[in-house]
Structure 1
Amino acid sequence: MTDDEQSQLGRAMSALTEDCMHKAGYGSWSPPPELPKAGPKTLTDLRYGIHDAALVAKRGYHPDAAEKAAHDAAVEAAIAARPEGVPVAAERTCGQQGKQRIGDAQAGFQLAEQLANGAFTKAKKEPDAATAFAQWSKCMKESGYNYLEPLDAVDNPKFGRDVTKEEIDTALADLKCRDRTNVALVWYEAEVRLQKAELEKNAQALQEGRAKLDTAMKNVNAVLAGKR
């Protein structure tokens, strides 16, 4: 699903759930607000790791500070606004009814998501990608860091909530080695090849999935147009 489709689906589900909850006697219930984004802007942004030198120099592997603050504030506001005494079971039942009205949108993109995730992992073992990984790892060792793969540093648990100088220094070395080895592009190209092969092998199933998603989105648009 595109970001726009996901947003529309969320709004439609919220509208249906709110109608259901009010009919069930929970007039104070309202859906949580749509959260502002923090982090990746697209499906490929940060898929292969960091790339924004200006952001890395300030935040290491962390997202933009203002975006993160806005996201966290919205989460806290949603929690604070949650009415007391509303059973979770009632929300779940109303959510399930909303899904029945719209249809299972996930069934439309589940296969595509699985194939994409599988290609992402398999691409690391492609010969050209494996070579680029090894070159990147060697480059990092030259700077005093022991990481095997380009996303290992991002996942280092010691780079937690707060940004540290150690994290920024590591991320800057990471970025330097990425530029030197071209590892993100090599990885991306390997994944593209694998995804194209999967597209050809699963063309019919993917077309069927797209049709299911299109049906769900038609129902979403009907809900948003007020035809509940």
Structure 2
Amino acid sequence: MQTYMPSDEERGQLSQARKILIGDCMKGFGFKWVPAPELPKVGPKTLTDWRYGIHDMALAEERGYKIDAKEQAAYDAAVDKGAVDGTTADGSAARALDGRIKDVGGKKVPAGGCVGEANRGVETEALQARTALDLANASFVKSEQEPKVVKAFTSWSTCMKRSGYNYAKPLDASDDRRFSGTEVTSEEISTATADITCRQKTNVAWIWYQAESALQRQAIEAHAEGLSAERKKIDSAVRQASKIVTGK
């Protein structure tokens, strides 16, 4: 299903084009607009990474179910620095940016402000890929009910019980509220490492992945027309964004 969704590179291209259009629009009203910096990416690297739970023993031994410490620190530093564009909430620039003002010096502000105009210029709605996303979510939920997956869950759960942990499904462990805080406890590390050990013994993630992949292939075949139409919209939006970025 990932084929029918925008890649990180495609999202980046549209984001860059969108910033250019917003900057040009704001310049037209006499405002110098500097976009907010992009926040560093943290956690899963792809749509399937961590989809079925953790898998990195070295990371689990250090961080339990939490993301890499360096990634977290870089993200927190960016947030503390201020991932905002610098406009004041009630200033004229901010109101022209989001459309809360009708005109600036007699010049009409577009609907939704410069942000609205930019969104229309780069077809940001194409990034939603709603059909693909809905089908992917549905396949994930349905996959948990597949007989082979149910059997794998039972094997994993039995393995965990031998280590003193009572969870019915793999994601129940990582979703445990005891591990929701920022502190990495010894209990979290012990649970996470036992989790991965049992995953390796039962092959649960691979069985789960195969089951969902089969369901997704069925969904793609059943919804080929809608998915193809969405993919074409994404491709069109990316081509338009490329022209904006390159000035062509």
* Gap regions ≥5 residues in structure 1: none
Provide the residue aligned with 2:157 in structure 1.
137
Alignment of 1:163-202 (within 5 A): 163-202=184-223
Provide closer, same or farther for how the CA distance between residues 136 and 17 of structure 1 changes in structure 2, counting only shifts above 3 A. Answer: same
Find out whether 1:17 has 2:37 as its counterpart: no
Q: CA deviation at 1:111?
A: 1.0
1:98 equivalenced with 2:118 (yes/no): yes
Q: Where does residue 35 of structure 2 map in the other structure?
A: 31
- Secondary structure in 2 matching 1:125: coil
Could you list the per-position Cα deviations for residues 178-226 of structure 1 after superposition, in whole angstroms to 9, with x for gaps in the alignment?
1111110011000000000011111111111111111111111111112
Superposed CA offset, 1:13-38 (max 9, x none):
122122223333432x3111122211
Q: What residue in structure 1 maps to residue 51 of structure 2?
A: 47
TM-score (norm 1): 0.92
Question: Which secondary structure does the structure 1 equivalent of 2:142 belong to?
Answer: helix
- 1:72: which partner in 2? 76
Q: Give the letter for the 1:14 counterpart.
A: K
Cα deviation digits, residues 143-177 of structure 1 (max 9, x gap): 12121211112122221112111111110111111
One-letter code aligned to 1:203: A
Aligned to 1:215: 236
CA distance in structure 2 between the partners assigned to 1:11 and 1:183 by the alignment: 40
Contact 1:108-1:213 within 8 A present in 2 as well? no
Give deviations 1:86-131, integer Å, cap 9, x for gaps: 4655433222211111124436622111111111111010000011
Whichever of the two has the greater Rg, that structure is 2
135, 152, 159: which one aligns with 1:115: 135
Q: Structure 2: which 5+ runs fail to align?
A: 1-5, 99-112
The alignment partner of 2:44 has SS state of coil
Contact 1:139 1:177 in 2 (8 A): yes
Q: Which shows bigger deviation, 138-147 or 60-69?
A: 138-147
Find the counterpart in structure 1 of residue 109 from structure 2.
Answer: none
Change (3 A) 1:81 1:90: closer
Pick one of 8, 11, 18 that aligns with 2:13: 8
Matched residue, 1:127: 147
Aligned length: 226
When the two chains are superposed, the root-mean-square deviation of aligned CA atoms in Å is 1.8
